Structure 1
Amino acid sequence: MTEPYVSLTIQNKIGVIEFFHPNRNSMPSEVLLKLEQTINEAGNNENIQVIVLKSGGDRTFCAGASFNELIAIEDANTGEKFFSGFANVINAMRKCSKLIIGRAQGKTVGGGLGLVSATDYCLATQYASIKLSELSIGIGPFVIEPPVSRKIGKTAMSQMTIDAETFYSADWAKEKGLYAEVFETTEELDQAVEDLAKKLASYNPEALKEMKKVFWEGTSHWEELLPQRASISGKLVLSKFTKKTLKRFR
């Protein structure tokens, strides 16, 4: 696999959305836009009752924002537009009428952690450690803070944000409520995801839809909040500190 993609496959009322980028499943604008569109498509598809969100490859679930694209940003409007890509995906997941199961097979960094946090239920392997590295490169996890804090609490989010260069283990993430279960192998993970998806697909779709609304009560203001947070990140990415730091990771 050398080309980025976002795909949707449907079988037995289960819609599997898979994204991939050759650079550790990082998220450039085009992948974020396609992911948002695919989530909306799956949410509106009557043949889908439950959604599984996964990434291609076997080492990294998602490395977060594309550093190459961040380096190329030269004005605040472009920066805001880029970070709004994450805001739009998270809001699409939040508003989607179908339950979304996350499948995290490997490390998850920055914006990737926002995606995991926006799932309704997430299963992972022991290799799915997590990190919020944004502060170390001169910005901050502004857009993804609401779903991360909602999932693991403000205290744990703050700890990760301040200790920005440390990977926290999958077991730590499970203890904080990010992952429901952690498995030793990808094979065990995939079997658990399949079993859960099949069960949910056999349940009353109206009940699932109403429970999704309950799960996300009190988050309607994210429609305005997340774009506002994207504006903050869009300005900070222009700082000399951030530009200099990003070039080291090119």
Structure 2
Amino acid sequence: MAQSYVKQTTKNNIAFIEFFTPEHNAMPSPILKELAQVITNAGNDDEVKVIVLKSGGDRTFCAGASFKELIAIDNLEAGDLFFSGFANVINAMRTCGKIIIGRVQGKAVGGGVGLASATDYCLATKYAAIKLSEISIGIGPFVIEPAVSKKIGATAFSQMTIDAENFYSAEYAKDKGLYANVFETIEELDQAVNELANKLASYNPEALSELKNVLWQNTENWDTLLKERAKISGKLVLSSFTKEKLASYK
């Protein structure tokens, strides 16, 4: 079986940060921790002028949090730690100081929608449908909500959260502002991502840094807010409802 990884390759002042896990790019805590660190490091690297966030494989961008790890949570501390994983990645993306382009080649579920929402500019293929399924298993997309609502608005967020078992098309995601453009093929997506990244890398880095600050103004409280949200999910995952629901999926 293929091994999970987070890797960065830097070319022409563009840092391509790629994550992968064999479970449809569902993210366990160690991978989330590594991803947050790699993003932070790229943000602090003077050689890097723009970041591209992508995942391995061609069917799924990110299936959200690791289901195996979710099922194994048996105390509040473990739950808090688990749900803080996506919080830390989103905050790393928010504060890294570099414009982040999202490359979404396939479906995004739960935390995967959060990652796409936390990019500064996101491009996708027509296969990149999105779903917020958390409420259907007894928890909720509380950690990622600030990022998703900031990107697509509170109305679209609430509709997707309440209609939790259906995928919404890539065109829906584009209409709501999550994706700037949607492409027929991965090849077309990669061409567009590379063209945009190279353009941005040629711009004034100080202007890009100031733009990043403006794009994320009024989110300074997210360090605290997302951790508070993680505690809500960490408590809910221990509820008898959620435990029974998760057991039925085993």
Partner of 1:205: 205
Paired with 2:61 and 2:241, the residues of 1 have a C-alpha distance of: 28
Paired with 2:9 and 2:133, the residues of 1 have a C-alpha distance of: 32
Q: Which runs of 5+ in 2 are unaligned?
A: none
Identity fraction in percent: 69
**Contact 1:67 1:249 (C-alpha < 8 Å) held by counterparts:** no
Paired with 1:46 and 1:58, the residues of 2 have a C-alpha distance of: 31
Paired with 1:182 and 1:23, the residues of 2 have a C-alpha distance of: 25
Partner of 1:55: 55
Partner of 2:219: 219
Paired with 1:243 and 1:187, the residues of 2 have a C-alpha distance of: 42
Q: Which runs of 5+ in 1 are unaligned?
A: none
Partner of 1:31: 31
Paired with 2:246 and 2:191, the residues of 1 have a C-alpha distance of: 38
Alignment of 1:47-126 (within 5 A): 47-126=47-126
Paired residue type of 1:153: G
Deviations 1:100-135 (A, max 9, x none): 000000000000110000000000000000000000
1:154 equivalent to 2:183? Answer: no
Paired residue type of 2:169: S
Paired residue type of 1:222: W
Partner of 1:190: 190
Alpha-carbon deviation of 1:249? 2.7
**Contact 1:105 1:186 (C-alpha < 8 Å) held by counterparts:** yes
Paired residue type of 1:129: A
Paired with 2:189 and 2:217, the residues of 1 have a C-alpha distance of: 29
Secondary structure of residue in 1 paired with 2:208 = helix
Paired residue type of 2:127: Y
Paired with 1:108 and 1:71, the residues of 2 have a C-alpha distance of: 20
Paired with 1:224 and 1:143, the residues of 2 have a C-alpha distance of: 11
Pairs aligned (count)? 250
Paired with 1:72 and 1:12, the residues of 2 have a C-alpha distance of: 43
Paired residue type of 1:8: Q
TM superposition score normalised by structure 2: 0.99
Alpha-carbon deviation of 1:244? 1.6
Paired residue type of 2:102: G
Alignment of 1:134-153 (within 5 A): 134-153=134-153
* Deviates most, 1-10 or 188-197: 1-10
Paired with 1:214 and 1:185, the residues of 2 have a C-alpha distance of: 32
Paired with 1:107 and 1:187, the residues of 2 have a C-alpha distance of: 17
Alpha-carbon deviation of 1:243? 1.3
Secondary structure of residue in 1 paired with 2:213 = helix
Aligned CA RMSD, in angstroms, stands at 0.7
Paired residue type of 1:206: E
TM superposition score normalised by structure 1: 0.99
Alpha-carbon deviation of 1:241? 1.3
Secondary structure of residue in 2 paired with 1:26 = coil
Partner of 2:131: 131
Paired with 2:30 and 2:248, the residues of 1 have a C-alpha distance of: 24
**Contact 1:52 1:197 (C-alpha < 8 Å) held by counterparts:** yes
Paired with 1:134 and 1:212, the residues of 2 have a C-alpha distance of: 30
Partner of 2:46: 46
